[in-house]
Structure 1
Amino acid sequence: MRTTTVGDVTILLPDLDPEDLDQVTDLFDDEVRDVLFDGVSWRGGQLADRSIRGCRITSADLGEVSWEAGALYGCEIVGTDLSGATLTGISIERCAFTGSRFTGTRLIDVRLKDILFDNCRFDYATLNRVSAAGSVAFTNCTFGHGNWSSCRLPGIALRSCVLGHLELESCRLDGADLRGNRLHDLRTPLDNLKGVFLGEDQLSDLTRLTVEALNIALRAEG
């Protein structure tokens, strides 16, 4: 069993042997298992009720894909472009995403469990009603100008990420580990940060957020 730990979060990772995977280029069936997709392009494709299990997807172009319902389980996704994709109502479990791009991607009613996102870009991405049913971690990711709304992500880890101009709306993040991130450009009501874990070096950023949230005017004495 392969695991990794980010902060206090332990994630069960896929355990794939490339020698056991047959390389293919197309999704022929509603359920695909134990194959390698390398350098494929499904740009703009329409996927419905598809299940992809135990697969490795590398250097693929999945930009502007629309995927509704189905599951992604036990997969490794490396260096893959999902920019502009829309993922709706799918379950993603025991997967690792490395060096992949989610610029402008929309995740709607997506369920996450045992997921690692490492060195991924979520600039301008939208997460709406995304929920964590188990361990989830983001490391060295970028979330510039993204928007999270009505998400339920308790206990997740976001470590060493860039959160510049990320907007949070009606999100539940209690128990989330936000240590190692700059918060000064985070755009959120303070109640979205209820119960999160921060480091002492982030107190100045939290103070700035508080001053802005309460519309406090700072004036010099005299």
Structure 2
Amino acid sequence: MYWAPRHIPEIALAVWQHIVLSVSSVAIGLVIALALGIVCARRPRLYAVALTITNIIFVIPSLALFAFLIPFFGLGTKPALIGLSSYCLLILLRNIVIGLRNVSPDILDAADGMGFSPRQRLWRIELPLAVPLIISGARIALVTVIGIATIAAFIDGGGLGTIILIGIDQEYPEKILVGGLLTALLATIFDFTLTWAERALVRWR
């Protein structure tokens, strides 16, 4: 009984591993999706292809995707990061492209009239105006990944999923409950924080 109070350091380490794994995956996915989104925003056919590929990845069951990566990258954090980053791409790419496409043509014409180059217009006008939608995509992706990251315990990826998995193996309900509740709490905290940031950016814009 009362396993949690006697294992605070172990739980804290699992929480930290879960945060690092989830945030790192979304950060990697955001870099890839941003580069892809900038290219796809003005190319509908390329965007359709990219959307189809990322959608196919997104619907693959997480355990199956991790198992597919094991022969190439082994067990541990690396395949977990690759798999979780892949799940982010659909959400992030869609929001980035929508954000860039929703910039008013009048604003773009005004930027052209002021002599902005396409690169200057992208970095100084389009991306700043698209930031609220990009943050919204990052919020959804992060909440999604926090949940999926529990499955990474099956491939030795660490995090709160390890506590849940051990609890299942040992038929120890308290471990399962602690891991599940902390995962839900992390998702709620990040959802609230990024929702606040998104609203603040909308007001600033």
Question: Which structure dedicates a bigger proportion of its chain to strand?
Answer: 1
Q: TM-score range by the shorter chain?
A: under 0.3
- Under a length normalisation based on structure 1, what TM-score does the superposition of the two structures give? 0.20
- Under a length normalisation based on structure 2, what TM-score does the superposition of the two structures give? 0.21
Which protein is bigger by CA-based radius of gyration? 2
Higher relative contact order (CA 8 A, sep 6+): 2
Question: Which structure dedicates a bigger proportion of its chain to helix?
Answer: 2
